[in-house]
Amino acid sequence: MSRSNSLARKSKTMSENLHGNVPDTFPVVLLIIDMINDLEFPNGDKLLPAALEAAQHIATLKRKARRLNIPVVYVNDNFGRWRSDFNEVVDHCLNDGVRGQPLAELLRPDPDDYFVLKPKHSAFYMTTLDTLLEHLKAEKLILTGISADVCVLLSASDAYMREYDLHVPANCVATDAPTHTQTALTYVRRVLSADTTPSEQLDLQDLCQSVRAS
């Protein structure tokens, strides 16, 4: 084998293996957007009650997803802390007495969850999410988190443009006002063809089987 062919094969193998870290491929992926959050910003106090209610539903949904081996990806803002990593963000939210501590306690990541730090609103903008979803061979995305009318909505729009089938469980997203949440859910249903069935009515096993059968 020539050196050029050998290098090409090696490069392909490294790409397929994510440089030695091979994720479990699965067609359905659960995204948890900005829920590891200190909420230390204007209107954070107004967002907390709805975010806490959503977090309880997301935690239940996550447990169901993990039983079916559905990958869980935390997509989180870095709070402008450009030297931080996700573990530092989790530690900050759990241990620094911040407003959002109850969210982090409910949704503390597990060691085998995936995470992506984002610099802006969309989960896809200038992040590694595209690459991760490609290697997971994702086809359907379940989007949860805050805020329904900003980060979740813009992430859903970018996912729609990438031709993913979308689920945005209505009880797993929140904003600082119920009318804002409903407006966002109406938009993702009408424009992005998203299914907003609440999480307790979402049959994850059927969702997985429907992908495999298609």
Query: What mean pLDDT do residues 157-174 have?
Result: 98
**Closest residue by Cα to residue 99 from 56, 36, 160, 159:** 36
Q: What was the pLDDT predicted at 25? A: 84
Identify whether 11 is part of a domain. Answer: no
Reported as a single tens digit per residue, the pLDDT across 90-134 is 999 999 999 999 999 999 999 999 999 998 999 999 999 999 999
Identify whether 6 is part of a domain. Answer: no
The mean pLDDT of the chain is 88
Residues in the chain: 214
Q: Is 28 helix (H, G, I), strand (E, B) or coil?
A: strand
Q: Which CATH number covers residue 149?
A: 3.40.50.850
Identify whether 117 is part of a domain. Answer: yes
Q: Is the pLDDT of residue 19 over 70?
A: no
The residues that bridge with 32 in the sheet, in sequence order, are 74, 144
Q: Is the pLDDT of residue 3 over 50?
A: no
18, burial (CB in 10 Å: exposed 0-12, middle 13-18, buried 19+): middle
Does 147 sit behind a cis peptide bond, omega within 30 degrees of 0 on the bond before it? Answer: yes
Identify whether 165 is part of a domain. Answer: yes
Q: Is the pLDDT of residue 80 over 90?
A: no
**Number of independent structural domains in the chain:** 1
40: containing domain: 23-213
Identify whether 59 is part of a domain. Answer: yes
Q: What is the pTM of this model?
A: 0.87
Identify whether 181 is part of a domain. Answer: yes
In terms of DSSP bridges, do strands 165-167 and 173-174 run parallel, antiparallel, or are they unpaired?
unpaired
Going by pLDDT thresholds of 50, 70 and 90, the confidence category of residue 88 is confident
